[in-house]
Amino acid sequence: MSHDHAFDPQCPGCRPCIVDPQTRQPLPDDHFAMVVANEIWDALPFEDQWALNRIWVHNSREPEHLEVAQRFTATFQSRTAN
């Protein structure tokens, strides 16, 4: 997300992004992991989306933001586990 606009949960730069560790390129939106991440994101309340954006874009380390990130990660891992 560019720092020159307000957070918008539908803005592509504000939404989750997963980078392929081999290519170092963002996964496409139709990749299984991105589909799951976006489904979880879309189900979150605005406040939780904002907290995640504060971590991912602004490097927040506020405890309440980190708690949201831990829940997001746990949900993502449980939905993508084989």
Report pTM. 0.88
CA distances from 6 to 1, 63, 64 (A): 9, 22, 20
Token duo for residue 30: 């139709």
Q: What is the mean pLDDT of residues 69-75?
A: 98
Position with higher pLDDT, 7 vs 79: 79
Position with higher pLDDT, 68 vs 11: 68
For the stretch 3-58, pLDDT in tens is: 567 889 998 888 999 999 999 999 999 999 999 999 999 999 999 999 999 999 89
Q: Give the span between the Cα atoms of 10 and 7, in whole angstroms.
A: 9
The predicted pLDDT at position 3 comes to 56
The predicted pLDDT at position 1 comes to 43
